[in-house]
Amino acid sequence: MKKLASHIGNLIKDFQEQLKAHLPYLEMEVKQIITDKSTDANKIENYLDTILSLTHHGVGDDLYIQLLEYYKTVDEEGAKFYWEEYDGLED
């Protein structure tokens, strides 16, 4: 049983590492959105959706919050929706 639990733990770690491999690209895109002061809500929401899906697996929380904090300056109501989605993960 210990061996099985260890194997499952290793699989989860490997999966998270694979997900983390996508973070540098997403970090670059988020930085560009913020630097350019983009107001393209569709683009921002697309990245929020993508990063939110990573947070379901324990990856990308800081990046999600960073983009969401910026999005509040673009669309306060839209940002509220994404905060609620993020908060709902804890339930």
The predicted pLDDT at position 23 comes to: 87
pLDDT string in tens for the chain (91-residue length): 777 667 566 556 665 676 667 788 999 999 999 999 999 999 999 999 999 999 988 889 999 999 999 999 999 999 999 999 998 876 5
pTM as predicted: 0.79
Residue 17's pLDDT is 72
pLDDT at 15: 59
Q: Which residue carries 């904090």 as its tokens?
A: 69
Write down the pLDDT at residue 10.
Answer: 59
pLDDT at 70 (0 to 100): 98
Query: How confident is the model at residue 64, as a pLDDT?
Result: 97
